[in-house]
Amino acid sequence: MAGAAADTAHHVVNMLPFKIALIGALGIGAQWLAWKLQRPAIVLMAIAGLIFGPLVGAILGLDLWEPLKNGLKMFHLDPEADFGDVYRPMIGLAVAIILFEGGMTLRFKDLGDSAHAVGRMVLLAGPIAWFLGTLAAHYIVGLPWDIAAMVGGLFVVTGPTVIMPLLRQAHLKKRPANILKWEGIVNDPVGALFAVGGYEFIRFTQEGANMGFAFAQLIFIAVMGGVVGVISGWGMAQAFKRGLIPEYLKAPVVLVWVLAIYVLANLLAPETGLLAVTALGMTMANTKFAAMVEMRRFKETIAIMLVSGVFVLLTATLTPDVLKEFFSFRILGFVLAMMLLVRPIAVIISTFWSGISIKEALLVSFIAPRGIVAVAVAGLFALELQAIGRPEGAIFVPLAFALVFATVLFAGFMIGPISKALGLSSDHGDGVLIVGANPWSLGLGKALTDMGVGVLVADTNWRRLRGARLEGLPTFYGEVLSENADYRLDHSAFNHIVAATPNDAYNALVCVEFAPELGRHRVFQVSAQDKDAEKDGDTIAFTSRGRTLSSRGRSFDAFTRDWWSGWRFKATNVSEEYPMSTLLEDRGEDVDVMLVKRDGGIDFIQPGQEGKITTGTVLTYGPAKNRAEGK
């Protein structure tokens, strides 16, 4: 008997590394597939967890051929059985890092003109939604008041990781897009902290404390967690500023520091760790130090891996009985109430006399997808509540998943039609993002602006952007391929890309990154050689690069050489009276045709396409004077 138990334990230990690898492959694989298909990653991760969790579990319950059954067991994820006593603290540590990442995203100076509106959404709409959500959880789901308050507080959040891809595709006007973006960033940790406060109140009352003492304890842990987080964040920033930590250790030190602060805060006052690490992240985000780039890289790797793994794990814990709850009237009623009553009422009340139009308020009301933080925190507190003798906490997980699925799918399908119906789609859909600031690209930007085409110039070098600022062109200082650009770059301002740096491989990376979002026919790059790179077998494969810019396919060096020899951009109207052939004859045989603007928008010209232009405003690049005028 003892031998059999030992064999079983040995088998579980041997299987654990495989299942950890499986979780990683499913999570990251779902993220990659979401990028490829331009679909919300949260939905694909949930599907992966459902397949390898409850679905495989249900198949294993059938009368199958024994070898097949044993093979399937390898791919069955049952997190509580697989990880045992480690499961709860493991989820807690992962959620702590996810909340730290959310805090690191919140830089107050980036709020800019949206600060007033976002402040109302957090300070007014948040508490109203908490109150109304509590009523919905109590009267519709039938939860006790204390757990209903936890549910109402947690689901105040809107997930920035879900909102960002939606905004990139929807091309909303700047103000509603900024409100949705920054509300999600700010509310993400705030909703989690509401849930922490609710849990602490339940824990104190479970221990027999009276209401007054419970509130006093709640205030104490809030202050304690905030103080620990702020002091630890300031201390880490100072250590970076003083050079006390070498570059190669900065990201590992931050990871260990976050885990240490989480554990330390919990030792000082139980369950204050989540509050402390959120405050830690916010403090570091708003303290200037040279290692901020390394911290963003840390977020882009560790946090993404944890988000993927935690989501797959939490989905895999769902049992058939829990899945049935998804379609119960109480959960469906709760989801509909949160989407159609709680959120709209909270937003509309909070935006009265704020300068936000009723159309903008309606759009913000209906676009509120919940994300990974809602599910991760719900999964953590479902375990914690059951551990302190509150089995009602088990409803947290199905409620979270039902609300996430409903809001993500609704927002994904409806943000476009709703924004167009309300007249809030961006008028600058044909704007151009020029990546790479140099004299030639700034000349292109100025010419496009003079034609009435919106332009945004991006570069990682502040000095190179000086010319764009002097010309009055909008600029983005930073790396367009970074996660930071997802938050700071106004994706509604452009619908075309021109990658115009001297680095051909980098230009290709930029085009490949934006091609799924904009369409490959709208991403262009300056060639490395004076030829059509798409038809050249010696360059980067055409499927892994942008389209060739301009009718002659000139290289970066050729564009720059001609610029310094006096070539300039010129816009000319082409019609039946003044056809394209006459324009080319007047401008010279070496002239480069860049694009044509018509009522339907702009079209960049590729090699061999210039002869097909019959009408429109044509932008050419050639000698400063026409041939007829003399040189």
- pLDDT for residue 543: 56
Indicate whether this model's pTM tops 0.85: no
Best CA proximity match to 183, nearest among 129, 131, 106? 106
Pairing of strands 523-525, 547-548: parallel
Per-residue confidence (pLDDT) for residue 199, from 0 to 100: 79
Tell which CATH classification among 3.30.1490, 1.20.1530, 3.30.70, 2.30.29 matches the domain 79-421.
1.20.1530
* pLDDT value of residue 169: 66
The number of residues making up the chain comes to: 631
Say if residues 277 and 329 touch (Cβ distance below 8 Å): no
The pLDDT, as a whole number, for residue 434 is 93
- As a whole number of angstroms, the distance between CA 276 and CA 182 comes to 22
Beta bridge partners of 555: 527
Q: Got the DSSP string for 531-560?
A: S-GGG-TTSS-GGGSPEEPSSS--BHHHHH
**Cα dist from 425 to 167, 492, 522, whole Å:** 11, 9, 19
**In this structure, are residues 312 and 45 in contact, taking their beta carbons and an 8 Å threshold?**
yes
How many Å apart are CA 618 and CA 288, to the nearest integer? 46
- Segments of 377-525 assigned E as strands: 432-435, 455-459, 475-477, 496-499, 523-525
Q: Which residue type does 229 have?
A: G
How high is the pLDDT of residue 299?
A: 63
Distance of CA 230 to the CA centre of its chain: 25
Query: Angle 41-50/396-421 helices, nearest 10 degrees?
Result: 150
Q: What top-level class would CATH report for the domain 432-629?
A: alpha beta
Q: Is 38 exposed, middle or buried (0-12, 13-18, 19+ CB in 10 A)?
A: exposed
User: What would the pLDDT profile of 45-68 be if each residue is shown by its tens digit?
Assistant: 888 888 888 888 888 877 777 777
Q: Which residues contact 517 (CB under 8 A, 6 or more apart)?
A: 38, 168, 169, 491
Q: Which residues contact 310 (CB under 8 A, 6 or more apart)?
A: 91, 94, 95, 98, 372, 376, 379
What pLDDT is stored for residue 12 in this prediction? 46
Is-contact 440 467, C-beta < 8 A?
no
Three-point CA angle 597, 177, 343, nearest 5°: 145
Q: Which residues of the chain are under the pLDDT cut of 50?
A: 1-13, 428, 532-534, 536-541, 631
Please tell me the predicted confidence (pLDDT) of residue 309: 83
SS3 477: strand
Task: State how far the alpha carbon of 18 is from the alpha carbons of 12, 73, 602, in Å.
Answer: 10, 11, 52
